[in-house]
Amino acid sequence: MNLETEFEFTRIGGDSIIKFPSVFAEGAKILLFACGSVVQLHSTETGVELKRLMHDAEVSFITVSDNLNKEFEVFTATVDGFVNRWNWKDAVILAQWKFQDEVIQMHFIDSTLTSAYVIFKPSVAKNAMFNLVNFHQDGQIKTTEVFNNFSSCPQSFCFANNIKCFAFILRDSFGVIDLKGKQRRPIYHKHSAALITGHPTEPILATGSLNGEISVWYRIFQHQLSCTICHWHPYVVNHLVIRANTLLSGGQEQVLVKWDLRDLNGRHGKSFCARLHSAVKWITISPNSEMYAVCMDDNSVRLIAPDMTVKFQFQYFVRRNYLESLASGDVGESPYPAGLLYSTFDFTSELSPYTVITNGRIGELQFYCPVTNKNIMNVDVIENEFVPEQEQNMVETLSTDDQLHTYLKKKCLMSERTDGAIPFIDIASFAIMDDWMVTAECCLNTDSEPGTKIKFWKYSLAKQNFQLFASAETLHDLFVDKLKFITCILNSGSCPSNRQLAVGGLIRGRGVCIWMFDNNNDRWSLATTINYRKLSANCFTYSEAHSIMAVGFRGSLTLWEMKTLILIKSIDVTSDSDYIRYTCCCCYCYCYCFILGIYFSIWNPFLML
C-alpha cells in the first residue's frame, strides 16, 4: 500500500524557560527569558510579548545594558560559543563574537560595553575559566586570564561590591577575590554551602546550604569575616539574591522569603509569599527593587511585588519533576499521570479553540493552546489555593517560623509526602466534553484503602475558567482509573429518559459506574454500575453513535445497549493469562481490542449480535 499523505508536526512545550534567571529591562517594565533558542521580551504590566530574538542554538545566558539614560541593548550567549549584541526593537544582531567554550555568565565593567568579566562553562577536560574579555565591533576579542586556578569546579559563583569582588564555592569552602587588588589571590573560608550571592554595591555576601541555613557575610576582604545566620526551615535553599536592604531566598519549601538585612533575626525581619505550590529555582530583583521575577520548578515565571503579592505569571508546559513523581509512586512513568486530552471547545474567542489538557502540576489541570504555544488557564482541582475561612486570619498574619512551617507541611511540602507523613492527593483521571469536565481525585500514598472524590465542573464564560458545579460523594475503598463522557438517552427504570448526559468511570477491580445528569433538577447522581461475572473491568468505550458500550472484563469483551444498559453480547477474546488492555470504536462502529503483548483484534459488533 502506497501512502502519499504527508503529516505536519508541531512541537509544543518541550523547552524550559527556567534554565537560568530571567532578566529585567527598562527598570521593571520588560522581562526577558529564554525558551530554547528564542529569547522572549514581555511587558510586565500586561504580559504581552513585545519581541522575539531568534538564535541558531540554545540560549545559555542573557544580560542587558543597565544604563537607564538610553535605550538598553541585549546580550545573549548560546551553547555553541557565540555571544550576540542585539538591537532588540528590530531583532537585529549588531555584533557577534565566537568563543571556543560556552559562556555561562558575563558582567560588563565599563559604560562602553566593550570590557566584561566572562565565566566559561567547565568541561571534563578543564575547570571553569574566569577571564577578562575585550570585545571589538569587528568580531575580534582579546582575552586576559583573571583566575583559573580553581582546585575543583566551582559549585556557585557571584560578583559583589560594584564588581570589585568575585566569590565562588568549592566543596567545603568559599573563596573571595579582590578584583581591584594587585595579586587577585582568593581568600578561602572554611564553610559548607550550596550557593553564593553578592550585594551589587556593598561588600556583602550570602550563602545558602542544603539544610535551609542562610549565612550573611560582612567584611568579605578580611580573613576574619563577620557572619549572621538565618535558619527557619530544613529544606534546600535553591537561590539567593541581594539588593539594597533586601535579601530574597527560596527553594524546596515552595516559599519566597524577603529578609531585611537591617533586622535579619528580628520580629519583623522577614515576610513571605507562601503557597507557591512549586519549588523556587531562580530569583531576580529589578534594578530599583520595584518587582521580583521568580522562576518556579513547574516551568513558570511569577512576577511578585515588594508587598509579596503575585502580580502576573508566565506559565509554560508543566512537566512533573522527579520529587513529585517519587511522592506519587509514579517514578519512570508518564510525567502526566492522569493522561492527556485534546479539546476543540472554544474557551475564549480570542484564542484558538484547540487545547491540550494535562496534569503536569500536582492537583491541577493545565489547558495549553498548541497553535499559539501559550497557557490558557489552570484549574485547581484539589483546591490547593483554597484557604478555609477559619485559617484566613492565621495565613494573613503569619509572623513566627513554626506557624508558617506547620501550615506549609499541611498544604504543599513534597518531602513529607514521600514518606506518607502528609496525604498525597492528586488527580487520578479526568474527562472533558465541551463546557463540562469531570475529575477524580484520590490519596495516593496511604496504606489504607483509597477513597476517590468525583467532581463535576462547568465552564464559566464570565470568569473564563471552570467552576465547581457539584461534588459527588466520596467512593470509599474505590479507585477510578478512567473517566469518559457519554451522551445518550437512557430509559431503564433507574435511568429516566430525561437524563441525556452521562459519565462513565472505570473502577479498579470492579466494573463501570455511570453518573447521570438530571436536566430537570440540575444535578448529577450515580445511576448504576455495570458488572460481569464478578470480574474486574480493564477498559471501556462506546460507539460514535452512543448506541453501544464495549467493556473489557479481563479477557472477555462485553457489549451493552446504551438506552437500557442491557448486556447484548459477550465473547472471550483472550486466554486466561491475557486481558484486554484497550478498546476504542471508529466511526463505522468497529470495536478495536488491543490485547496484552501479542496482537490486536478488530470486531464488527453488528456481526456479533
Rounded-to-integer distance, Cα 84 and Cα 96, Å? 5
SS3 485: strand
| Three-state secondary structure readout of 9-39 | CCCCCCCCCCCCCCEEECCCCEEEEEECCEE
C-alpha distances (whole Å) from 59 to each of 40, 56, 77, 126 are: 11, 9, 6, 22
Give the Cα-Cα-Cα angle 561, 563, 566 (nearest 5 degrees). 40
pLDDT at 28: 93
pTM of the predicted model, to two decimals? 0.80
Distance of CA 540 to the CA centre of its chain: 32
The shares of helix, strand and coil residues in the chain, as percent rounded to the nearest 5, are 5, 45, 50
pLDDT averages per 10-residue partition of the chain, 609 residues: 53 77 94 94 93 95 79 94 95 94 90 89 75 89 86 85 92 88 81 93 94 91 85 88 95 90 84 83 95 93 94 85 55 64 75 80 86 84 63 48 53 50 76 92 65 90 89 78 78 52 88 88 88 89 78 87 85 72 62 54 61
Residue 239's pLDDT is 96
What's the confidence (pLDDT) of residue 399?
A: 42
- CB atoms near residue 336 (< 10 Å): 20
Sequence length of the chain is 609
546, HSE (Cβ side, Cα atoms, 13 Å): 13
CB 294 within 8 A of CB 250: yes
Task: Identify the pLDDT of residue 416.
Answer: 53
Three-class SS string for 211-254? CCEEEEEECCCCCCCEEEEEECCCCCEEEEEEECCEEEEEECCC
Which phi and psi (to 5°) does residue 364 adopt? Answer: -130, 155
Q: State the Cα–Cα distance between residues 288 and 560, nearest whole angstrom.
A: 68
Fold exhibited by the domain 340-383+422-603: Methylamine Dehydrogenase; Chain H (2.130.10)
Domain layout of the chain by residue ranges: 155-315, 340-383+422-603
Helix or strand or coil: residue 332?
coil
Identical fold, 155-315 and 340-383+422-603: yes
For helices 401-411 and 389-396, the axis angle rounded to 10 degrees is: 140
Q: Which burial class, exposed, middle or buried, applies to 481 when counting CB atoms under 10 A from its CB (0-12, 13-18, 19+)? A: middle
Nearest Cα neighbor of 358 from 333, 337, 340 is 340
3-class state of residue 97 by DSSP: strand
Q: 512-518 and 499-507: which strand pairing?
A: antiparallel
CATH number belonging to domain 155-315: 2.130.10.10
Per-residue pLDDT at 68:
57
